[in-house]
Structure 1
Amino acid sequence: MRLVLLVLFIGSSSFFGNVNGQNTNPDSLFDVAKKHYDLANYDQAIKIFDESGQVFLQQGDSVNWVHANLSKGDALLNSGNVRQALDLFLFLDEQTPSAVSNSILARIQYFIGWSYRELEQYEESKKYYLEGIEFANAANDSLLTGRMNNNISYPYLYTGDYYTALSFQKKAMDIYESLGNKRSLSNVMNGTFLVLTELGLHRQAQNYIRQSLALREEIGNPHMLDIAYHNMAVNFKELGRTDSAIIYYQRSLELSRQLQNPFDITQTLINIGRLYHDSGDLDNALSYFNEALEVNYQTERPVSIANNLTELALVARQKDDYDNAENFYREALNWLGETNSPQTRSAIYLDLAELELSRNNFSDTRNYIDQAKKLSDSKEFLYLTARSHALLGKLHQAKGDFSESLNEYRKVYSMYADQNYTAQIEPAMNLARAHYLSDSDSAFYYADEAFALIDSGRTTVAGLTFRSGFYREHAGFYNEVASWYITQKNDAEKAFELVEAAKARVLMDELAEAQENVYTALDESTLIKKQQKAKQIDRVYQQMEQAQSEEEVQALKRELTDLEFEYQSFLNEIHSANKQLKNFTYPQPIELAQIQRLLNSETAILEYTFTENGVIQLVITQNNIRGTYIHSFEGMDAKAFITEEVRSFRTSIIEGEEITEIQEKGTALYETLISSVLSSNNNSLSNIVIVPDGPLSFLPFEALFNGTTYLVEDHLIKYLPSASIYPYIQSPHRITTKGLLALAGSGFESEQSVTSPNLSQASFASLPSTLLEVDSIATNFESSTILKNEEVTEASLKSHDLSNFQFLHFATHANVDEVNPSRSGLLLSKKADVESLFGEDGHLNSREISNLQLNADLVTLSACNTGMGPLVTGEGLIGLQRSFISAGASSVMVSLWSVFDRSTSKFMSIFYRSLLTHREDEYGLWNQTMDWFGFYEHPMIDYKTKAIRDAKISLINHPYYNHPVHWAPFILIGK
């Protein structure tokens, strides 16, 4: 009867195909299939195991038929076809021939247990594994007993029973070591790593995953390597080694994409999304989270889907979309249903508690915390228990019960005492805040402890995206504590130290690296590979511009996210492998005395920094520093008030409102930002260096009005990203052989691109007056190179040795990408056919600009909005000026809004004429000689600052161009 059932199943099931040859040797087929399996060629293995099984059955060998089908199911499992595999195993369990051994019976239970584990049905999984252990023991099959003990540890691990999991793994480890089975040893070491990681023992876990990886590299199975790379990345991330985490996640992702196993790739996608999320790049984070969810829905795994949904909820919360966030959490709980998943359920309750706390629903917040704490305490989930106490601290703080809040934060701090430095940062910050609210000086002690922890991890990752993200998460705390020093200790010097510690640190690091030529000294093959990866990204952007459908655009976006991550991974590989970079001593923020030595009696640095709601103003003069902290204006948070005032002022100028209205708004801002500074210095200041922050990065201070004159009429004004940047910006007057290189790209058309209007060159209008602009500028120089119209291409620009020019002037369109600042750049040419011959695309993006070698005193970007860009907390404005300074320019002139090309042409003509005059006055033969011997100190307010003021005053007095829309947008940044 059993044989009849087998035949009927084979005849009606889609499990089996037709046998290719009646006389095929089934043992040979099985061996071939096994070789494919070992190489992770699962599709081929499945097909050939199937053929082998059919031949065995035709020969009446039911035992080997079962064996072949178990191997086929194993391959199905590893390829991600879990449901199909489970159906096969359950069929074999029901229809097993009586002649099979206990070993075969054990293997059937083993595979059913594994299948249920993959589907996150852990109680079913345990049941079949336990039955399998009995069969394996009866068979005296040591290897199979070891596998059973190892695999049953996973459902115990995932249901929070860590010590039972470890006991099973210990049994498996003893068996595998006695047998010397490397493959199985690598598996149990991987499992032990996972348990220790869940227990927060990351340093102890590291040894196990390293040994597992070493064995798997020796074995060479891609599927096993994929898992090992992923878990190495997890371990590095937990230990604060983000650079290595990025590298190993990239390796895992590459293999996961090749293997196409939906059960393996989802967690890698989610974890990469978390890296982007933590760096503040929510768009790339969403891209990975959404892709993971699409794949997760195919697997029908309730816990994995629930975890995935919570990541999407977190992004929604950060966008203040609380309703959507709550929907994601509710869907996650629905997926969990009655599953035994206390860890995930507890985490969701805590997420909901945070959501309700942001809504000021204190009662619901407490209920969710209590539910979570009950689960986490019973299972010893260290992280979740600590998080429960942290949320209780936050809840008590919101209710004004600072004493109870302090007690909770003390508990959290103690819990994390033995964890890695990244885990200790937030508890230290929270404890400092709790002490501050309790009027305790211990606030400053714990704040210093947090700063030390943050600084120790600042340079463990390469690349702007992730390094700036690390600081973005903590920069606000530096500013917050700086405000404490001003309000509680009247210590402006310490406030300056903290503000500078959190401002433009990544740019300062990049400039310090450039001074030591650490990247240019890399071997040629590495530099070429780096360039090729960047070009791949540019190529996909080009394809997106030309895409004909939304489906094509989405497919290219997905390819782009992988290429961007691959590029970041490569940067971190360079960073890890290069001894000079690995051991590089990164600079510390400038000390107050250092910056004061650079000032004369007529010059002040005016530095602004925003806290969550307020603003810090630091006024630094040659012999003094004064700090003020303003929490509110006219009953409104200072930050919100200034943001609105700046927006209104800019809008009035850009929309061409009456000058009297603009001056009225300019006077209000003058009173808020400038008046007290000048009056406290007896109006003796002639020169002001602005270090802006937040919305003030978009404010032209020159246009502020004191009731009689614009600020620029009485003061020389320039800008810096931070005071600490100044020593690392290249000095002017370096040796160059040519005066000016000017480009006028006028030949753009006005049609709009249907699929990608923000990026397409077709969307930019013609600029006829730029031709007159560069011709007029060139008349001031003895030596100049002018590129116009058809001569302007990316390839032609790069054919010149740009390091030979003292001045670079770009009168062409700029593209500012608020989402992906590395894609911002200058649009030089729309001749794609010509550009492609030289491997270019006509778009000189910020990544390419940073890699230029410049000795220019000044780069002028006279196009529209070249001073704009996204604001990154702690790093400031990420704009084109940053890229040119990184490339070696001493200073950059940019515009803060769309400019009129005719008035701009007039402005630039006056500017350059004045520039050369002031240069001769400032840097005559005597100063050149002193500079040659290293005795010359370049003035902070130099000839370029004087020239831009001359041009602005000239237009203020011009009969047609006196409106601020014409002269106010241009600002000078740098040395």
Structure 2
Amino acid sequence: MPNFSKAAPLYRDALDMRRRLYPADKYPDGYPDLATSLNNLGFLLKARGEYDEAERFYREALAMDRKLYPADKYPGGYPDLAGILSNVGLLLEARGEYGKAEPFYRDALEMYRRVYPVEKYPSGHPDLARSLNNLGFLLLERGDYGQATDALAESVSMYNRQVGAFTDGGAEAEALNLAASLPGASNKFLAATAHAEEAKPSEQYPVLWQGKSALARSLQHRRRLLHAAADADDATRQRVQTLIGVRQDLARLVLAPARPGDADRAQLVQDLTDKKERLEKELAALLPASDRKTLPYTELADRLPERAAFIDLYRYVDWDNKTRKWDDGHYAVFVLRKDRPIRRVELANAAAIDKGLAEWRDDIVKDLRSNAAARLRKAIWEPIAAVLGEGVDTIYICPDGPLSALPWSALPGDRPNSVLLEDYAFAVVPGGPSLLDQLTAPVPTNRGPGVLLAVGGVRYDRDDYKAGKLWPALPATVKERAGIVAEARKLPHAPEIVERFCAGADVPRLLADLPKARWAHLATHGFFAAPDSKEREHLFRPDDFLLGVGAERRGAAARNPLTLSGLVLAGANQPTDADSGVLSGEAVAGLDLDGMDLAVLSACQTGLGEAAAGEGVFGLQRAFHIGGAKNVVASLWKVDDEATAALMNLFYYHLWEKGEPPLQALHHAQLELYRNPQGVPALARGRGAVDWDETVQTVTKAPVDATETPKRAAAVKDWAAFVLSGAGR
């Protein structure tokens, strides 16, 4: 937190010194440094709530800047002058003097428009976008929702262009810091449009459409361009390989065991982080400039299958003009279908929804009956279903905030004792543009069977070490791996099979195996190092999560959030400096996975990650997608080993033997497990078991009445954890 009491004397000393350096008799118009000191002190006093004294310094700075930058010499104005105009407006707004603040905001805005004209700044400028944001919020506070919407729409669009342009040439961590520094214009835009009369979702959604997960899309696009450039040039290939190596070294070092020499480790981490970011910028400079063109959302509507819908959620807080405070939050939901107008739905009381979700997830894991499920259906699903319309069986969802951890298919259905799984197949996607990219990508033809990488039965110990194990053995994954391999070998055109198990399932081997795989099944522990989790305590140091005063990411894990999720491999119970035994998302994201159709992360919590404003979740799913994997199946919680093996064996039966696309295969496998829990033991034993064929025939047989509730349904915890991310093709 800023220490205002210590800062104030220093600011005053600086001001006094500058008054002596630039006396009025020698500098009748003042001096820029002196005006800056006046502005700085005014800013500090405003932050302390000392508005009257702050105004005195602001007004003096404004008068000085007017003389330093007169209209006859600076007809377009000057950035410093526009800045102090904005600051005076902010002060008056903080005192509730909205009528007095508005002229200052508008003068600052017009000056910024002249200083940063569109022909010189096609992406806009941060100061101009911030000025629009300031004016928009003032109008929101006054209840002038129409004008607020216009100003905030321009601000959001400008910020989106700036983040995109910056990401094209910057480092990932710097782009994240830029996104974190933005003043919440999207949130204010959603709040203003929620109140505006005659608000049209078709005019609102284009403003938001390009911004969600823009960084992830840009990084994925840049990685593809880099690998293409590396194929054509030896020097570029060498630098790309160096970057991949640095990412892997960084991931290894961040997760290395704590030792007395951690000060050296901290410097090494910083050096590697700096090298990674320098290489990212150098390689970005070699690439052609992006045209920054994103197809409109109507293209996605046109490309959606007839029986599919796209649901895009945004969590935001609304301004209460009575209390003069932000409320507990809402979810704005945009619903898109082919040949239908886009609809917007409001989910009120986001805080209650988030709390209910946490309660439900806790009850699911404990296998308890939960009243929270019915509350969540009423709060989330019923408002969406009211505008969804008939004839939908596939739903693509782009969640936001805590709803990234919601098992949609397990929500109660329309019929008593039913679940939504019985009527819909759900897939999550990073954003609408990402889904559009997948739906418009050409389907490869004449591909060979490719390579199946099957991992299971990992040995987490390097010797007979027993005390304090974080990662216990998973004996059921041996059968899980064997069942999937047996299913693959039965195919008419079987893939090449690479099995990794025991001590052979280590990080170096998987880093070499993954880029060659078309199918990757990874049956091992996974983790997300959430705050207060044992994984965070065991794997990271507190200073790995340091943030700066402006919430900029400074610590190693904060600057590299993909290190917070990973897969646990051979030797992880006894990590060494050379091998932590953990394959983190940071290392995965640097790989070339363009040939990977499907990655199945058959491990607990592989679907979770760190949420970042406007960027979704930083986790293993994101890392595999950035690497190029088209579809990723991951889990939202730890699942019983036997239930996991049963679900996965059914999934691959539908995927390969029945030739179903991944989304349909997962949906059918979950539905059949839900309806036939008695089949779990036989299904878990997999192909080769004497009762496999008979059990599969029984559980895959369609019920006479699909609307009939099963006499004994499987527990939610056993089938609903796994979610598919991607288009599911």
Scaled by the length of structure 1, what TM-score is found?
0.56
Secondary structure of 2:165 counterpart: coil
Secondary structure of 2:498 counterpart: strand
Which whole-Å CA distance do the structure 2 matches of 1:785 and 1:809 have between them? 10
Q: Against the structure 1 CA distance between its residues 834 and 435, is the aligned structure 2 distance closer, same or farther, given a 3 Å change threshold?
A: closer
Match 1:370 to one of 50, 56, 74: 56
Secondary structure of 1:467 counterpart: helix
Q: Which residue of 2 aligns with 1:148?
A: none
Question: Is the 1:376–1:384 contact (alpha carbons within 8 Å) kept by the matching residues of 2?
Answer: no
Question: Is the 1:907–1:955 contact (alpha carbons within 8 Å) kept by the matching residues of 2?
Answer: no
In percent, how many aligned pairs have the same letter? 18
Q: Against the structure 1 CA distance between its residues 440 and 739, is the aligned structure 2 distance closer, same or farther, given a 3 Å change threshold?
A: closer
Higher relative contact order (CA 8 A, sep 6+): 2
Which whole-Å CA distance do the structure 2 matches of 1:771 and 1:961 have between them? 27
Q: Which residue of 1 aligns with 2:509?
A: 796
Greater Rg over alpha carbons, structure: 1
State the Cα deviation string for residues 481-521 of structure 1 (Å, max 9, x = none).
Answer: 25544542331122221221210112222344455554544
Q: Which residue of 1 aligns with 2:208?
A: 499
Which residue identity lines up with residue 412 of structure 1 in the other structure? A
Which residue identity lines up with residue 619 of structure 1 in the other structure? V
Q: Which residue of 2 aligns with 1:890?
A: 630
Q: Which residue of 2 aligns with 1:68?
A: none
Q: CA deviation at 1:693?
A: 0.9
Which whole-Å CA distance do the structure 1 matches of 2:513 and 2:259 have between them? 38
Q: Which residue of 2 aligns with 1:220?
A: none
Q: CA deviation at 1:748?
A: 1.5
Match 1:644 to one of 355, 358, 367: 355
Which residue identity lines up with residue 326 of structure 1 in the other structure? F
Which residue identity lines up with residue 584 of structure 2 in the other structure? N
Which whole-Å CA distance do the structure 1 matches of 2:193 and 2:221 have between them? 29
Question: Is the 2:175–2:215 contact (alpha carbons within 8 Å) kept by the matching residues of 1?
Answer: yes
Q: Which residue of 1 aligns with 2:292?
A: 586
Q: Which residue of 2 aligns with 1:962?
A: 714
Which residue identity lines up with residue 785 of structure 1 in the other structure? V
Q: Against the structure 1 CA distance between its residues 625 and 468, is the aligned structure 2 distance closer, same or farther, given a 3 Å change threshold?
A: farther
Q: Which residue of 2 aligns with 1:775?
A: 482
Secondary structure of 2:113 counterpart: coil
Q: CA deviation at 1:386?
A: 4.5
Question: Is the 1:746–1:812 contact (alpha carbons within 8 Å) kept by the matching residues of 2?
Answer: yes
Please say if 1:905 is aligned against 2:645: yes
Question: Is the 1:894–1:972 contact (alpha carbons within 8 Å) kept by the matching residues of 2?
Answer: yes
Secondary structure of 1:641 counterpart: helix
Which whole-Å CA distance do the structure 2 matches of 1:833 and 1:665 have between them? 41
Which whole-Å CA distance do the structure 2 matches of 1:840 and 1:870 have between them? 24
Which whole-Å CA distance do the structure 2 matches of 1:451 and 1:499 have between them? 8
Scaled by the length of structure 2, what TM-score is found?
0.73
Match 2:159 to one of 443, 454, 460: 454
Q: Against the structure 1 CA distance between its residues 336 and 481, is the aligned structure 2 distance closer, same or farther, given a 3 Å change threshold?
A: same
Match 1:737 to one of 449, 456, 478: 449
Question: Is the 1:603–1:621 contact (alpha carbons within 8 Å) kept by the matching residues of 2?
Answer: yes
Secondary structure of 1:417 counterpart: helix
Which whole-Å CA distance do the structure 1 matches of 2:234 and 2:580 have between them? 23
Please say if 1:575 is aligned against 2:327: no
Secondary structure of 2:279 counterpart: helix
Question: Is the 2:586–2:623 contact (alpha carbons within 8 Å) kept by the matching residues of 1?
Answer: yes
State the Cα deviation string for residues 70-90 of structure 1 (Å, max 9, x = none).
Answer: xxxxxxxxxxxxxxxxxxxxx
Q: Which residue of 1 aligns with 2:308?
A: 603
State the Cα deviation string for residues 579-610 of structure 1 (Å, max 9, x = none).
Answer: xx24232341x423311222344322121112
Q: CA deviation at 1:810?
A: 0.6
**Runs (5+) with no aligned partner, structure 1:** 1-315, 317-323, 923-939
Please say if 1:698 is aligned against 2:698: no
Q: CA deviation at 1:771?
A: 1.0
Question: Is the 1:492–1:627 contact (alpha carbons within 8 Å) kept by the matching residues of 2?
Answer: yes
**Runs (5+) with no aligned partner, structure 2:** 20-33, 70-77, 117-124, 318-328, 531-557, 682-711
State the Cα deviation string for residues 243-269 of structure 1 (Å, max 9, x = none).
Answer: xxxxxxxxxxxxxxxxxxxxxxxxxxx
State the Cα deviation string for residues 123-154 of structure 1 (Å, max 9, x = none).
Answer: xxxxxxxxxxxxxxxxxxxxxxxxxxxxxxxx
Q: Which residue of 1 aligns with 2:189?
A: 481
Secondary structure of 2:209 counterpart: helix
Q: Show the 5 A alignment for 1:289-328.
A: 316=1, 325-327=3-5
Q: Against the structure 1 CA distance between its residues 524 and 683, is the aligned structure 2 distance closer, same or farther, given a 3 Å change threshold?
A: same
Match 1:414 to one of 82, 98, 110: 110
The count of corresponding residues between Structure 1 and Structure 2 is 606
Which whole-Å CA distance do the structure 1 matches of 2:38 and 2:268 have between them? 35
Q: Which residue of 2 aligns with 1:865?
A: 605
Q: Which residue of 1 aligns with 2:340?
A: 624
Q: Show the 5 A alignment for 1:761-772.
A: 763-772=470-479
Question: Is the 1:479–1:502 contact (alpha carbons within 8 Å) kept by the matching residues of 2?
Answer: no
Q: Show the 5 A alignment for 1:677-696.
A: 677-681=384-388, 684-696=391-403
Secondary structure of 2:625 counterpart: helix
Q: Against the structure 1 CA distance between its residues 624 and 475, is the aligned structure 2 distance closer, same or farther, given a 3 Å change threshold?
A: farther
Which whole-Å CA distance do the structure 2 matches of 1:548 and 1:881 have between them? 28
Please say if 1:525 is aligned against 2:241: no
Which residue identity lines up with residue 653 of structure 1 in the other structure? I
Secondary structure of 1:585 counterpart: coil
Which residue identity lines up with residue 525 of structure 2 in the other structure? H
Question: Is the 2:8–2:41 contact (alpha carbons within 8 Å) kept by the matching residues of 1?
Answer: no
Secondary structure of 1:619 counterpart: strand
Which whole-Å CA distance do the structure 2 matches of 1:566 and 1:343 have between them? 38
Which residue identity lines up with residue 56 of structure 2 in the other structure? D
Secondary structure of 2:432 counterpart: coil
Secondary structure of 2:723 counterpart: strand
Q: CA deviation at 1:525?
A: 3.2
Q: Against the structure 1 CA distance between its residues 625 and 368, is the aligned structure 2 distance closer, same or farther, given a 3 Å change threshold?
A: same
Q: CA deviation at 1:387?
A: 4.6
- Give RMSD over aligned pairs: 3.8
Which whole-Å CA distance do the structure 1 matches of 2:187 and 2:391 have between them? 29
Which whole-Å CA distance do the structure 1 matches of 2:378 and 2:91 have between them? 39
Q: Against the structure 1 CA distance between its residues 519 and 347, is the aligned structure 2 distance closer, same or farther, given a 3 Å change threshold?
A: farther
Which residue identity lines up with residue 743 of structure 1 in the other structure? V
Question: Is the 2:250–2:272 contact (alpha carbons within 8 Å) kept by the matching residues of 1?
Answer: no
Which whole-Å CA distance do the structure 1 matches of 2:639 and 2:237 have between them? 38
Q: Against the structure 1 CA distance between its residues 724 and 948, is the aligned structure 2 distance closer, same or farther, given a 3 Å change threshold?
A: farther
Which residue identity lines up with residue 480 of structure 2 in the other structure? E
Q: Against the structure 1 CA distance between its residues 365 and 915, is the aligned structure 2 distance closer, same or farther, given a 3 Å change threshold?
A: farther
Q: Against the structure 1 CA distance between its residues 426 and 591, is the aligned structure 2 distance closer, same or farther, given a 3 Å change threshold?
A: same
Q: CA deviation at 1:799?
A: 4.2
Q: CA deviation at 1:351?
A: 4.2
Secondary structure of 1:781 counterpart: helix
Q: Against the structure 1 CA distance between its residues 345 and 623, is the aligned structure 2 distance closer, same or farther, given a 3 Å change threshold?
A: same
Secondary structure of 2:500 counterpart: strand
Please say if 1:393 is aligned against 2:89: yes
Q: CA deviation at 1:479?
A: 4.8
Secondary structure of 1:791 counterpart: coil
Q: Against the structure 1 CA distance between its residues 353 and 648, is the aligned structure 2 distance closer, same or farther, given a 3 Å change threshold?
A: farther
Which whole-Å CA distance do the structure 2 matches of 1:716 and 1:808 have between them? 22
Question: Is the 2:230–2:240 contact (alpha carbons within 8 Å) kept by the matching residues of 1?
Answer: no
Which whole-Å CA distance do the structure 1 matches of 2:679 and 2:7 have between them? 61
Q: Against the structure 1 CA distance between its residues 774 and 957, is the aligned structure 2 distance closer, same or farther, given a 3 Å change threshold?
A: closer
Which whole-Å CA distance do the structure 2 matches of 1:441 and 1:948 have between them? 47
Q: CA deviation at 1:951?
A: 4.3
Instruction: Identify, as 1 or 2, the structure richer in helix.
Output: 1
Question: Is the 1:733–1:857 contact (alpha carbons within 8 Å) kept by the matching residues of 2?
Answer: no
Question: Is the 2:160–2:210 contact (alpha carbons within 8 Å) kept by the matching residues of 1?
Answer: no
Which whole-Å CA distance do the structure 1 matches of 2:575 and 2:194 have between them? 59
State the Cα deviation string for residues 84-118 of structure 1 (Å, max 9, x = none).
Answer: xxxxxxxxxxxxxxxxxxxxxxxxxxxxxxxxxxx
Q: Which residue of 1 aligns with 2:569?
A: 828
Which residue identity lines up with residue 352 of structure 1 in the other structure? L
Question: Is the 2:55–2:91 contact (alpha carbons within 8 Å) kept by the matching residues of 1?
Answer: no
Please say if 1:718 is aligned against 2:427: yes
Q: Against the structure 1 CA distance between its residues 643 and 829, is the aligned structure 2 distance closer, same or farther, given a 3 Å change threshold?
A: same
